[in-house]
């Protein structure tokens, strides 16, 4: 027999009779002492002793797939809210004692348990504050559809970007979900509770003004926010919506895109627009890219923190909060804060494939509680692993109730994620004072009075290599490549006749600098140093009679590009170099040396075309890579022999602090053949790694040359 919540009793019809306030339990009491007077209530508010609210109604589980199967056949499972509610009970967050004592318990211990906020159906006029009347009518029409019509509708929507299933009671549950969000937020704004958690479904943040989408019918949070702004214009003028669902809340963004009084901040996986919800068919509708900052009066009140990949965890989310979310939120100074709380970025959720822990959710909640005098409402969005969503929700609820967030160990920040945060800062610096420190005025920097340091350093390298080894630039005779790789590919004289060739594909040199203490956008030249581990390998190769091709891969595609990412032309460059030069060389021994993120070029050369995989295996004697970023597999769908060949003919040195060594499951994966022969370095920085392993690499290359010559596979080395 299940435990009975004394603050929720069900009659035979399944309807609920819930409390009407924090000091009553749906039961009348003759003892006047069980009800506090108005002065006592004001004292409780002043002292912050109001309870945390909880909105939950089992009727929201009635939304299910038209197939009406007992099996879990869809991620948006009715059990999602049930498991959270049961987890709250197990954690002791909900009063389960005798009903007749409930009022006294809430009076004497107002913060010990969560106060139940009844869910009710949203009014049409409330829904139409965020949606068109036509959309409301469409949702209502589903109630009258036949089972066959619902199945057909579900089949059609579930195979498109809308990604939606529709049942006969979907409208019923969606209207209840929106109404629950409204009353949850209203109770917080009105001061009846200090904060609140709405455990509601179906979710809402994908629903557009005029259409459903992504498991969502009505966009619960905008409906609630607009209602609160309408009914409490003096105390709820400016609202912050923080969306930490792993998917971008396109619906919330678009509803408030031109609203200066609603600041929408979303942390989500973006993956260059390929992760759901992806890019709209209409190019004029913004997606979750970080460049979309609002429009008109709302310019600057839309902040997208779109991760470059899945796999983000506590380190990335805490860094986002500390560097972007909280500074902007504090400058905005909201009257009310709402969390669109999807828990599909939680560790264990297969759809999100991220690693945010319950402790991290607690810390993020705690930081947001410092805003708006603590007026904070949490509205459930996504999250599809029942254990992950329950544990995360409990951590958030405990924090709302006043427990300090648990101690946590924060993993190292992913370098690409750090670049994403820096780019967000650059975009938002136009609108927020707090984002400007450390951001360069790019208009001035890109004027005729300046020169990009990358180009300056590369020109200096070119001059040195020309003087020491007579190396000259290789002209890239392809229009789309020439501008990016001008002066980036250098070769030694007569490389085409050398019997041994070393092709180095590397990141630009590292820049170490002590910033100016008064202005972090300025570097002191006498305290700035270029650290380059590649030149010593070129010096050694030339001494040993190798011809050398040096390929410097810039971090941006154009000189006027302020971003920091691998240029997309790297694959085209490697194809062009192979077809026009490398494949035509007389060399008996060709070695590839990849350094940093640029070793992507090695992978591209090996796998891009089937004829390359065979040709490379015949011509290339060995591959050496130094990796401190993404560890990339080398495998081919059409050539099963590539991965074994790569394992046998490679040395892949991976930084000591690389994430693959921190997770045992990842460590096991690197033992697979497709990653090559992986060696854990004792060093972390690229230059330190290259220095530490220089003798090993040089010996390995020389041994392979000697073995091939002794076996008679090659001709003698030519001068």
Q: CA 4 to CA 597: how far, in whole Å?
A: 58
pLDDT digits (tens, 9 = 90+) for 541-569: 999 999 999 999 988 765 545 455 567 78
Catalytic choice (206, 268, 506, 693): 206
Between β-strands 16-18 and 376-380, what pairing exists: parallel, antiparallel or unpaired?
A: unpaired
Give pLDDT, residue 23.
40
Q: CA 488 to CA 477: how far, in whole Å?
A: 13
Whether the CB-CB separation of 456 and 547 falls below 8 Å is answered with no
Give pLDDT, residue 76.
81
Whether the CB-CB separation of 256 and 222 falls below 8 Å is answered with yes
Whether the CB-CB separation of 201 and 131 falls below 8 Å is answered with no
Helix axes 453-469, 535-543, angle to 10 degrees: 20
Q: Which long-range contacts (CB under 8 A, 24 or more apart) does 484-487 make?
A: 484/554, 484/557, 484/558, 484/567, 484/569, 485/554, 485/569, 485/573, 487/455, 487/458, 487/459, 487/462
Q: CA 429 to CA 191: how far, in whole Å?
A: 35
pLDDT digits (tens, 9 = 90+) for 476-503: 888 778 888 888 999 999 999 999 999 9
Give pLDDT, residue 263.
98
Give pLDDT, residue 718.
35
308 classed as catalytic:
no
Q: Which two tokens stand for residue 650?
A: 């490679």
| pTM flag (> 0.75) | no
Query: Which positions of the chain have pLDDT values less than 50?
Result: 1-36, 68-69, 72, 560, 562, 714-719
Angle at 631 between CA 627 and CA 637, to 5 degrees: 135
Walk me through the domains of the chain, giving residue ranges and CATH numbers.
50-435 (3.40.800.20), 453-718 (3.40.50)
Q: Which alpha helices (DSSP H) does 370-476 contain, by range?
A: 386-400, 415-428, 442-445, 453-469
Q: CA 188 to CA 52: how far, in whole Å?
A: 9
Give pLDDT, residue 636.
79
Give pLDDT, residue 162.
81
Whether the CB-CB separation of 463 and 487 falls below 8 Å is answered with no
Give pLDDT, residue 651.
94
């Amino acid at each position: 027999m299940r435990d009975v919540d004394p603050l929720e009793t069900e009659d035979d019809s399944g309807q609920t009779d819930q409390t009407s306030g924090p000091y009553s339990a749906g039961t009348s009491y003759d003892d006047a002492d069980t009800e506090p007077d108005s002065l006592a209530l004001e004292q409780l508010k002043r002292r912050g002793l109001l309870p945390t609210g909880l909105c939950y109604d089992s009727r929201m589980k009635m939304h299910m797939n038209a197939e009406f199967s007992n099996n879990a056949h869809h991620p948006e499972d009715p059990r999602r809210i049930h498991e959270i509610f049961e987890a709250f009970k197990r954690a002791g967050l909900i009063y389960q004692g005798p009903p007749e004592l409930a009022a006294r318990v809430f009076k004497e211990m107002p913060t010990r348990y969560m106060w139940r906020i009844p869910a009710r159906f949203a009014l049409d006029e409330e829904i139409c504050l965020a949606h068109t009347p036509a959309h409301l009518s469409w949702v209502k029409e589903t109630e009258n559809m036949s089972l066959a019509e619902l199945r057909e509708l579900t089949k059609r929507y579930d195979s498109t970007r809308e990604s939606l299933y529709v049942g006969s009671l979907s409208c019923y549950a969606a209207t209840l979900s929106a109404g629950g969000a409204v009353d949850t937020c209203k109770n917080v704004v009105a001061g009846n509770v200090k904060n609140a958690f709405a455990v509601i479904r179906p979710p809402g943040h994908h629903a557009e003004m005029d259409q459903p989408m992504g498991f969502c019918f009505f966009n619960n949070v905008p409906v609630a926010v607009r209602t609160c702004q309408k009914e409490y214009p003096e105390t709820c003028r400016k609202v912050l919506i923080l969306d930490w669902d792993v998917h971008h809340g396109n619906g919330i963004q678009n509803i408030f895109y031109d609203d200066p009084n609603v600041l929408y901040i979303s942390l989500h996986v973006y993956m260059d627009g390929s992760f759901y919800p992806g890019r709209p068919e209409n190019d004029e509708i913004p997606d979750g890219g970080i460049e979309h900052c609002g429009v008109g009066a709302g310019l600057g009140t839309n902040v997208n923190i779109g991760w470059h990949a899945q796999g983000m965890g506590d380190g990335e989310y805490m860094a986002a909060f500390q560097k972007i979310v909280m500074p902007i939120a504090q400058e905005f100074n909201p009257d009310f804060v709402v969390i669109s709380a999807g828990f599909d970025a939680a560790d264990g959720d297969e759809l999100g494939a991220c690693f945010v822990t319950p402790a991290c959710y607690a810390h993020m909640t705690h930081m947001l509680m410092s805003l708006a005098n603590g007026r904070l409402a949490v509205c459930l969005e996504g999250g599809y692993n029942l254990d992950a969503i329950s544990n995360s929700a409990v951590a958030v609820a405990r924090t709302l109730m006043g427990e300090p967030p648990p101690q946590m160990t924060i993993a190292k920040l992913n370098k690409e994620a750090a670049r994403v945060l820096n780019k967000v800062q650059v975009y938002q610096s136009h609108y927020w004072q707090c984002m400007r420190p450390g951001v360069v005025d790019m208009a001035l920097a890109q004027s005729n009075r300046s020169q990009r340091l990358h180009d300056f350093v590369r020109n200096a390298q070119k001059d040195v290599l020309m003087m020491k080894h007579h190396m000259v630039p290789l002209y890239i005779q392809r229009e789309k490549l020439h501008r990016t790789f001008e002066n980036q590919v250098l070769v030694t004289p007569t490389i085409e006749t050398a019997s041994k060739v070393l092709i180095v594909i590397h990141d630009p040199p590292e820049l170490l600098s002590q910033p100016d203490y008064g202005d972090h956008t300025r570097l002191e030249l006498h305290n700035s140093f270029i650290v380059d581990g590649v030149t010593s390998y070129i010096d050694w190769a030339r001494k040993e009679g190798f011809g050398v091709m040096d390929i410097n891969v810039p971090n941006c595609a154009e000189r006027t590009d302020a971003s920091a990412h691998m240029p997309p032309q790297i694959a085209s460059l490697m194809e062009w170099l192979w077809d026009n030069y490398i494949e035509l060389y007389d060399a008996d021994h060709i070695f590839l040396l990849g350094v940093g993120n640029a070793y992507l070029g090695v992978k591209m050369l090996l796998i891009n075309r089937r004829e390359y995989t065979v040709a490379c295996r015949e011509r290339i004697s060995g591959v050496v890579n130094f990796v401190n970023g993404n560890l990339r597999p080398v495998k081919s769908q059409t050539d099963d022999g590539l991965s074994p060949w790569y394992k046998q003919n490679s040395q892949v040195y991976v930084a000591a602090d690389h994430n693959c060594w921190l997770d045992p499951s990842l460590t096991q994966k690197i033992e697979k053949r497709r990653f090559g022969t992986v060696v854990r370095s004792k060093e972390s920085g690229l230059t330190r790694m290259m220095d530490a392993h220089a003798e090993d690499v040089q010996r390995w290359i020389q041994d392979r040359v000697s073995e091939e010559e002794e076996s008679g596979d090659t001709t003698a080395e030519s001068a």
